[in-house]
Structure 1
């Protein structure tokens, strides 16, 4: 599994790169603060309900959560399902808010 820091991810966003962001937190966490990722809670990934991202199997996909733990689990599961280029955002939204802000 690859990883990326929140600073490096922010630089990609600021540069206008088209990137695939997936938020594996719960809906209430996403409602409080999010950076525009597709909401796909970890529970759905664990039960392999990932139809929304089927077309991203061969693309780079950045996965984030609150702290980096759930997104790490999601990356491992997605890799077993054939996703070739998943990237865990280390530190998650806690690191984003600490280092970048809202």
Structure 2
């Protein structure tokens, strides 16, 4: 029983640490803030292709989180990167990866695509 409590406390500590560390390099933007800057940025949808095809923000490129490492050459380090996924967890993980690879200007859409009310394109 004591071991489980220690394990849970350790996992919680790691999660809290990652949350606050992420805040140092990842800006979480409201839809209005996101809309103001995404046309000057690299707009990346990190969801899977089937999700992207059902609907995505107009002008977004689909680079799924599962392919991000292999496709980093498609992203420029000198331009802001605006990320989104369905709810926010995958874009946060993508931001962590980009940060480790030297990207500085990274933002994500608060609440993800499911909260987006702007223009959408579907295949």
Q: TM-score range by the shorter chain?
A: 0.7 to 0.9
Give 1:42's aligned residue: 65
Give 1:67's aligned residue: 87
Measured against aligned partners, the alpha-carbon deviations of 1:52-74 in whole angstroms (never above 9, x if no partner) come to 11xx2122110111111100110
Structure showing greater Rg:
2
RMSD of aligned residue pairs (Cα, Å): 1.7
After TM superposition, give the deviation of residue 86 of structure 1 in Å: 0.9
TM-score (norm. length: structure 2):
0.68
SS in 1 for 2:43: strand
Q: How does 1:1-102 map to 2 (within 5 A)?
A: 1-12=26-37, 17-35=39-57, 36-45=59-68, 48-49=69-70, 50-53=72-75, 56-97=76-117, 100=118, 102=120
Alpha-carbon spacing, 1:23–1:82, altered in 2? closer, same or farther (3 Å)? same
Greater per-residue helix proportion: 2
Measured against aligned partners, the alpha-carbon deviations of 1:22-80 in whole angstroms (never above 9, x if no partner) come to 110000111011112111000112xx112211xx2122110111111100110011000
SS in 1 for 2:40: coil
Alpha-carbon spacing, 1:11–1:84, altered in 2? closer, same or farther (3 Å)? closer
After TM superposition, give the deviation of residue 101 of structure 1 in Å: 6.8
TM-score (norm. length: structure 1):
0.81
Tell me the distance in 1 between the aligned counterparts of 2:104 and 2:33.
Answer: 20
> Please, which runs of 5 or more residues in structure 1 have no aligned partner?
none
